[in-house]
């Protein structure tokens, strides 16, 4: 690591007794200065075990930093830029969920962790792409309100004998919706020995055309343990950055070069440095929202 700004950040981090958490979709220069890299579930678990740090710098999108605050209401949670909002999370406002609960009072409520805290507080439990099936199984209800990601909900519905009602009807990740079956066919022609792995936020026909469907954390583990050498990766392109750093010797091809989450890229080294210096912008939630949401987060962690 030769970047002087990276070195300045590491020095500040030690001085402030801070920890830097970063999602797998962060750019390389931020991945390199993170104490911990992970998918949503891994970051939730890590956030639930921060005891010895005074300051948390969260390089991800808004709902992730909110979840860190829910699990650590006594700690200072800082996100380098407040503009890093997940579009999918904001597709499920509180009023839409409450209306769905009125229409289906007998349904359990599972929200993808990619949701805003105002909605989270009304959920029975949360899930991530890594544990969605397991968490859904853990609820006794035969009918489930599931949101905001329709594709993840469909992925769950195909594996379990439960009625899944999507809330909203078409919540989605704009990055994963870029992938099409034709992209898989083209990449298979170009790399006939490669295995295709895609994320469950992809459209269901893309999932069915892939060899494996798994979370980003699952992808890393699977590729590290696999005897195969070539993989086509159907998720945000910087997941390949992390796998290349941790699993050398594999040949990785993005399913689409343009699969970029612009929101994740809003964090820069300059903004991380400033966040450490100023200890802001802080992420906080009203006490009642945080406490209600915490029950759903803890149910998910226990069910994982």
Q: CATH second-level architecture of 176-254? A: 3-Layer(aba) Sandwich (3.40)
The span from the CA of 234 to the CA of 201, in Å, is 10
Segment 120-133 mean pLDDT: 94
Segment 245-261 mean pLDDT: 97
Q: What percent of the chain stands above pLDDT 70?
A: 99
**Polymer length of the chain:** 304
**By three-state DSSP, how is residue 218 classified?**
helix
Task: Output the average pLDDT for the chain.
Answer: 95
Segment 14-19 mean pLDDT: 95
**What pLDDT, on a 0 to 100 scale, did the predictor assign at position 57?**
96
The span from the CA of 165 to the CA of 133, in Å, is 15
**What pLDDT, on a 0 to 100 scale, did the predictor assign at position 1?**
52
Segment 264-279 mean pLDDT: 97
Q: Is the pLDDT of residue 41 over 80?
A: no
Phi, then psi, of 12 in degrees rounded to 5: -60, -40
**What pLDDT, on a 0 to 100 scale, did the predictor assign at position 87?**
96
**What pLDDT, on a 0 to 100 scale, did the predictor assign at position 303?**
84
User: Residue 39 — very low, low, confident or very high, per pLDDT cuts 50/70/90?
Assistant: confident
CATH of 4-84+264-284, one of 3.40.50.10800, 3.30.365.10, 3.40.640.10, 3.40.50.2300: 3.40.50.10800
User: Residue 3 — very low, low, confident or very high, per pLDDT cuts 50/70/90?
Assistant: confident
Task: Domain 89-173: give its CATH superfamily.
Answer: NadA-like (3.40.50.10800)
The span from the CA of 27 to the CA of 22, in Å, is 10
Sign, CA dihedral 146-149-152-155, equals positive
Query: What would the two tokens of residue 265 be?
Result: 């890229």
Q: Is the pLDDT of residue 79 over 70?
A: yes
Tens of pLDDT, residue by residue over 176-213, are: 999 999 999 999 999 999 999 999 999 999 999 999 99
- Our CA angle for 63, 89, 164, nearest 5°, is 120
Tens of pLDDT, residue by residue over 206-215, are: 999 999 999 9
Q: Is the pLDDT of residue 256 over 60?
A: yes
Domain 4-84+264-284 and domain 89-173 have a common topology: yes
For the beta sheet containing 230-234, the strands, ordered from the edge strand earlier in sequence to the opposite edge, are 212-213, 195-198, 230-234, 251-254
User: DSSP of 279-297, one letter per residue?
Assistant: --SB----HHHHHHHHHHH
Q: Is the pLDDT of residue 2 over 90?
A: no
Q: Which of 3-17, 37-51, 143-157, 237-251 has the lowest mean pLDDT?
A: 37-51
Q: In angstroms, what CA-CA distances link 273 with 13, 30, 43, 73, 118?
A: 9, 11, 21, 23, 30
The span from the CA of 39 to the CA of 129, in Å, is 9
User: Residue 304 — very low, low, confident or very high, per pLDDT cuts 50/70/90?
Assistant: confident
Which sequence spans correspond to the domains of the chain? 4-84+264-284, 89-173, 176-254
Alpha helices in 23-147 (DSSP H): 28-31, 40-47, 62-71, 94-103, 117-120, 132-138
The span from the CA of 124 to the CA of 107, in Å, is 10
- Nearest CA among 29, 48, 43 for reference residue 299: 48
Phi, then psi, of 10 in degrees rounded to 5: -65, -35
b/e per residue 26-53 (b: at least 16 CB within 10 A): bbebbbbbbeebbbbbbbbbbbbebeeb
Query: What would the two tokens of residue 42 be?
Result: 């891994």
């Amino acid at each position: 690591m030769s970047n002087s700004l990276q070195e300045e950040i590491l020095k500040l981090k030690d001085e402030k007794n801070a920890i830097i958490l970063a999602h797998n979709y962060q750019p390389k220069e931020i991945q390199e200065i993170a104490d911990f890299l992970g998918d949503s579930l891994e970051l939730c678990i890590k956030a639930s075990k921060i005891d010895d740090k005074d300051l948390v710098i969260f390089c991800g999108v808004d709902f992730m930093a909110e979840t860190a605050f829910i699990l650590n209401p006594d700690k200072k949670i800082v996100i380098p830029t407040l503009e890093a909002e997940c579009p999918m999370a904001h597709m499920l406002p509180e009023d839409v969920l409450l209306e769905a609960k009125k229409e289906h009072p007998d349904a359990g409520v599972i929200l993808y962790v990619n949701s805003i805290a105002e909605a989270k507080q009304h959920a029975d439990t949360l899930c991530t792409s890594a544990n969605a099936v397991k968490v859904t199984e853990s609820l006794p209800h035969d009918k489930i309100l599931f949101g905001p990601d329709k594709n993840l909900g469909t992925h769950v519905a195909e594996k379990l004998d439960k009625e899944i009602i999507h809330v909203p009807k078409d919540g989605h990740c704009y990055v994963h919706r870029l992938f099409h079956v034709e992209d898989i066919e083209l990449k298979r022609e170009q790399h006939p020995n490669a295995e295709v792995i895609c994320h469950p936020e992809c459209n269901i026909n893309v999932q069915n055309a892939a060899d494996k469907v798994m979370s980003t954390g699952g992808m890393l583990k699977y590729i590290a343990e696999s005897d195969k050498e070539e993989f086509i990766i159907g998720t945000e392109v910087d997941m390949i950055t992390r796998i290349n750093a941790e699993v050398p010797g594999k040949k990785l091809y993005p399913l689409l070069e343009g699969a970029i989450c612009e929101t994740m890229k809003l964090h820069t080294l300059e903004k991380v440095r400033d966040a450490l210096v100023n200890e802001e912008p802080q992420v906080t939630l009203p006490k009642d929202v945080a406490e209600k949401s915490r029950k759903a987060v803890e149910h998910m962690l226990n069910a994982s």
